[in-house]
Structure 1
Amino acid sequence: MHNNLLTEIKDRILYITINRAAKLNALNKDTLAELNMVVKQFYTDENAGVAIITGDGPKAFVAGADISEFSSFSIVEGQQLASDGHSNVFNLIENCPKPIIAAINGFALGGGLELAMACHLRVASDNAKLGLPEVTLGLIPGYGGTQRLTQLVGKAKALELILTADMITADEAKSLGLVNHVTTYDALIAKCEELAGKMLNKAPLALKSALTAVNSFYSKDKNGYSVEIEEFGKLFGTEDFKEGTQAFLEKRKANFTGR
């Protein structure tokens, strides 16, 4: 049982709901620890192939980090806070071998937007507001926001949003490439499930290789083309490759097993 998260697996989709609506689902230390545990389990859980992360209630996906927990931190404690967040949650999500979709159901601010950006796809409801307001606290984004926002929207727009602390609407976020789709609030989870369903029909090991190859583009110590070649070649040794090509030749639907 988790105190701050609700989790459920249905039709091979893991639903993760941050369950702190009274606090606008702010990320405190305990919530981050629970996210770490749940995402780690998802890595190897054979019952789930795609995850959807959302926030409880109509107001917020995650309205930020819990400021009361770190307002008195020293330099060393601040650096440790960021470092732990990177390795235990945000990088863990980004490097997950299975797709994770953020269902942004309201405010995604600060650590909340950073959480959404660590996910592989983002779908926002039309009432969502997104932003990185850290400079208003005398800080900068510390959970990967300066890097991932720049990757997603480009340097000039990322700097504008970070330096002004402006919030943007879901439609603006979509036009920038920050979110993949915008829906009504009521259709949000259904849209995420539609995307998840498309992925669940595909070969799991191929999805894993695709995530690895695309992520390698942003890694300074990797050559993305080399990673792509290696991952492409590895898949020729899988049963799913044999099944996929056989199904194509026999004009039938492939039955992938993840082997």
Structure 2
Amino acid sequence: MSQPYVKLDIQNEVGYIEFFHPAHNSLPGDILAKLAQTITDAGTNDDIKVIVLKSGGDRTFCAGASFNELININDAETGKVFFSGFANVINAMRKCPKFIIGRVQGKTVGGGVGLAASTDYCMASKFAAIKLSELNIGIGPFVVGPAIERKMGLSAMSQIAIDANSFYPADWAQQKGLYTQVYDSTEALDEAVKATAEHLCTYNPEAIKEMKAIFWKGTEDWDTLLAERAATSGTLVLSEFTKEKLKTYK
């Protein structure tokens, strides 16, 4: 696998949405836009009752946004558009009337933690450590913060946001509510994801839709909120502090 992609595969009424990028599944704007649209389309597809969100490759679920795009931001509007990429995916997941199961097989960073937090039921392998590294480069996890806080609580979210150098193990993430189950191998994870998703397909779709609305109650302003957060990040990325930091990563 060398070319980025987003693909949908339907098996036994389960829609498996898989994204991939060769740079540790760090996602550029075009892949994020396609991912958001694929989730939205799956939500209206009558052949799909439950969605599974997964990534290609073995080692990393998602390394966040594309660093190559990040370092080339030169104005605030471009910055807002860049950081809106994950906002649009999170909002697509929030609005989707179907349960979304997360399948997190490896490490996840930044925006990837936001994706995991935005699933309705997230299952992981023991290799699925998490990190919020944004403060290291002078910005913060502003866009994904609401999703992570909603799932894990303000205390846990602030801990990993402040301790931006550390990976927190999958067991810790499970204790804080991000993951429902942690498995010893990817094979065991995949078996459990398949069984769970197919069992959920036996539920009343209308009941699922109503339950999902209850789960996400209080987030109705997120279209506006996450756009504002994207604008904040888009401004901060232009700061001298961040520009100097990014030079050290080139």
Per the shorter chain, which TM-score range?
Answer: 0.7 to 0.9
The two structures have a TM-score, normalised by structure 1, of: 0.78
Counterparts in 2 of 1:9 and 1:60: CA distance versus 1, 3 Å:
same
Higher CA-based Rg: 1
Q: Show CA shifts across 1:111-141 (max 9, x none).
A: 1111111111111111111121111121112
Query: After superposition, where does 1:196-211 map in structure 2 within 5 Å?
Result: 196-211=197-212
Question: Percent identity among equivalent residues?
Answer: 25
Partner of 2:156: 157
How many angstroms does 1:80 deviate by?
A: 3.1
Counterparts in 2 of 1:109 and 1:84: CA distance versus 1, 3 Å:
closer
Query: After superposition, where does 1:21-100 map in structure 2 within 5 Å?
Result: 22-73=22-73, 74-86=75-87, 88-100=88-100
2:126 matched to 1:126? yes
Partner of 1:250: none
Q: Which amino acid aligns with 2:195?
A: E
Unaligned runs of 5+ in 2: 223-250
Query: After superposition, where does 1:202-241 map in structure 2 within 5 Å?
Result: 202-219=203-220
How many angstroms does 1:55 deviate by?
A: 1.4
Checking the alignment, whether the CA contact within 8 Å between 1:110 and 1:133 is kept in structure 2 is yes
Higher RCO (Cα < 8 Å, 6 or more apart): 2
**Which moves more between the two structures, 68-77 or 49-58?**
68-77
CA distance in 1, matches of 2:86, 2:116: 14
Partner of 1:226: none
Q: Show CA shifts across 1:20-72 (max 9, x none).
A: 2x311111112112112211210111111111111112101111110111223
Unaligned runs of 5+ in 1: 222-259
CA distance in 1, matches of 2:111, 2:85: 13
Checking the alignment, whether the CA contact within 8 Å between 1:123 and 1:188 is kept in structure 2 is yes
SS in 2 for 1:9: strand
Query: After superposition, where does 1:5-16 map in structure 2 within 5 Å?
Result: 5-16=6-17
CA distance in 2, matches of 1:171, 1:32: 28
2:218 matched to 1:185? no
CA distance in 2, matches of 1:204, 1:14: 14
How many angstroms does 1:105 deviate by?
A: 0.7
Checking the alignment, whether the CA contact within 8 Å between 1:82 and 1:142 is kept in structure 2 is no
Flag as ranges the 4+ runs of structure 1 deviating above 6 A. Answer: none
CA distance in 2, matches of 1:123, 1:50: 15
Partner of 1:237: none
Partner of 2:231: none
Partner of 2:229: none
The two structures have a TM-score, normalised by structure 2, of: 0.81
SS in 1 for 2:25: coil
Partner of 2:248: none
Query: After superposition, where does 1:161-176 map in structure 2 within 5 Å?
Result: 161-165=160-164, 166-176=166-176
Q: How many residues of Structure 1 are paired with residues of Structure 2 in the alignment?
A: 217
